[in-house]
Amino acid sequence: MRLGLELGSSWLGGDALVDAVPWVELASQRMQIGLGAPIRLRLRDADPQDSCATPGIRCQDWDRWSDWTRILRHLDLGDWRDKFQLHVGDLTGVTLGHGELVWRYYNNLLMDEWNPGVYATVQVPSGGVTLLLRNAVQWSLAAARASGRPIRVGLGRSFEFGVQAAVERRSRTVLQQWSGDPASLPTYSLRQASGEDARVAVVLDSSLELLRAGSWVVGSWLAVGGQGNSHLRMGGHLGLRGVRATAASSLSLTVEGRMAEDGYTPALFDPTYEISLPLRQPQSAAASWVYGLRSSVELSQAGLGRAMVAWDQTGDLRNRLHLWLIADPGQALTLRAYLNHSLLPADPAVPQSSGAILAGQADQPDWMAYLSARLRVQGPWYFSLSGGRRWFWKTDRWLGDYHPQRAELELRIAAGWDWQP
């Protein structure tokens, strides 16, 4: 048993908050569970203001059913050696298959909301099934993959086929910019419109190991699928990956070519999904074919950390750049850095003036960055000091310059101790 208390402070836009989180963790050989009671006090309420008392408990932390699941910090059953694994809580960098639909997905990217995610998998030598839920209480995204390895001898032992499916459901929302001091950081809020949108995606994939040479393994995969709400869009993926693994390090090189109808989004649920989720619009009836390419390099070193660079490019000038860096030497000092650049075609029909109702892809952040550091001392007593900051920028489609859209800052002190009855 472990007991602890976390003390922290954070800035969300112009709101200033402090919080205290007492917690307890229980663990057995195959199960771990963490419980806590987060209490966050808002000391400053910037525009747009609401009816919550300030200073006082932040109402937005407890205004949805899923918010009450914050008390369950995490639940884990099984480990990598077991046929069955279950994780409930924070989802970080989850990928299904080769990333055709779900690629390095994070369900709690924003600090001011909590989604109790679910990741469950059953794996046996002949195949397996994996399930992912963004929010177990108020589900808005569900994805699954079933795979099989029918050939158990010869060169075909590495052949695998899979079926992936995903459903996303969301209320129609628009983004409202609140007028204020032009010199201050603009504050945005989501306003819910009537009705719901839903999108269904299905992908058939297959993969095969092509070559083994020393510590290198080279494999390829082929996938075809469709996505749509009111109109189905088709797409295809052809990828090649080389992995060099040793006892202390690994290097992965990946190239994936794509061809799809406009409206089919490869890696639909990626690290930026939580940011772009409220801004996506229903697909139109018009469609045209576009090509795409994703390439990535990932390097990891035992005792030091890992780094990754990934680049997405499509023929209609949409592109995304992902940069990751995680350093954890000796598990005492942890550094995390992430940078994402998303360029989408401008929508001249959407006004960009201050105070206007903003909707559509024109207001998805062009840049998102995250930087954090944590110093940890572990022994009979546990202590850590951490800080993190997220930045969001967007391009003014009329003026052509960048301005901040959102900023989040968090500082945290945590202390605890191990106690065994």
Please report, for the chain, the start and end positions of each structural domain, with discontinuous segments joined by +.
2-418
What does the alpha-carbon distance between residue 236 and residue 224 come to, in Å, rounded to a whole number?
Answer: 4
> What integer pLDDT is reported at residue 351 of this predicted model?
38
> What integer pLDDT is reported at residue 384 of this predicted model?
85
What does the alpha-carbon distance between residue 181 and residue 248 come to, in Å, rounded to a whole number?
Answer: 53
User: What is the CB neighbour count within 10 angstroms for residue 30?
Assistant: 13
What does the alpha-carbon distance between residue 139 and residue 135 come to, in Å, rounded to a whole number?
Answer: 5
> What integer pLDDT is reported at residue 380 of this predicted model?
74
> What integer pLDDT is reported at residue 350 of this predicted model?
38
> What integer pLDDT is reported at residue 346 of this predicted model?
44
> What integer pLDDT is reported at residue 192 of this predicted model?
46
Q: Quick one: CA dihedral 352, 355, 360, 363, positive or negative?
A: positive
Name the amino acid, one letter, at 172.
R
Considering the chain, what is the average pLDDT of its residues?
A: 79
- Surface-to-core class of residue 399, CB atoms within 10 Å of its CB (0-12 exposed, 13-18 middle, 19+ buried): exposed
**Chain centroid to CA 253: how far?**
22
> What integer pLDDT is reported at residue 354 of this predicted model?
33
Encode pLDDT of 134-179 as tens digits: 998 877 899 999 999 988 887 788 899 999 999 988 665 444 444 4
- Token code pair at residue 67: 């918010």
Encode pLDDT of 274-303 as tens digits: 776 544 444 445 557 888 899 999 999 887
What does the alpha-carbon distance between residue 155 and residue 213 come to, in Å, rounded to a whole number?
Answer: 15
What does the alpha-carbon distance between residue 116 and residue 141 come to, in Å, rounded to a whole number?
Answer: 12
> What integer pLDDT is reported at residue 162 of this predicted model?
97
Task: Flag residues of the chain having pLDDT under 70.
Answer: 13, 47-51, 54, 170-197, 276-287, 316-318, 329-331, 343-365, 394-406, 418, 420-421
> What integer pLDDT is reported at residue 31 of this predicted model?
92
User: What is the CB neighbour count within 10 angstroms for residue 61?
Assistant: 20
User: What is the CB neighbour count within 10 angstroms for residue 79?
Assistant: 10
What does the alpha-carbon distance between residue 228 and residue 232 come to, in Å, rounded to a whole number?
Answer: 4
**φ, ψ for residue 399, nearest 5 deg:** -90, -20
- Token code pair at residue 146: 């079933």
What does the alpha-carbon distance between residue 119 and residue 308 come to, in Å, rounded to a whole number?
Answer: 23
Element (H, E) at 2: strand 2-12
Which residues, other chains included, contact 81 with Cβ-Cβ below 8 Å and sequence gap of 6+? Answer: none
Q: Quick one: CA dihedral 50, 53, 56, 57, positive or negative?
A: negative
CA angle 137, 143, 146 (to 5 degrees): 130
> What integer pLDDT is reported at residue 396 of this predicted model?
54
> What integer pLDDT is reported at residue 220 of this predicted model?
96
Q: Quick one: CA dihedral 203, 135, 50, 368, positive or negative?
A: negative
> What integer pLDDT is reported at residue 331 of this predicted model?
65
> What integer pLDDT is reported at residue 357 of this predicted model?
33
Of 285, 239, 240, the closest CA to residue 266 belongs to 239
User: What is the CB neighbour count within 10 angstroms for residue 176?
Assistant: 16
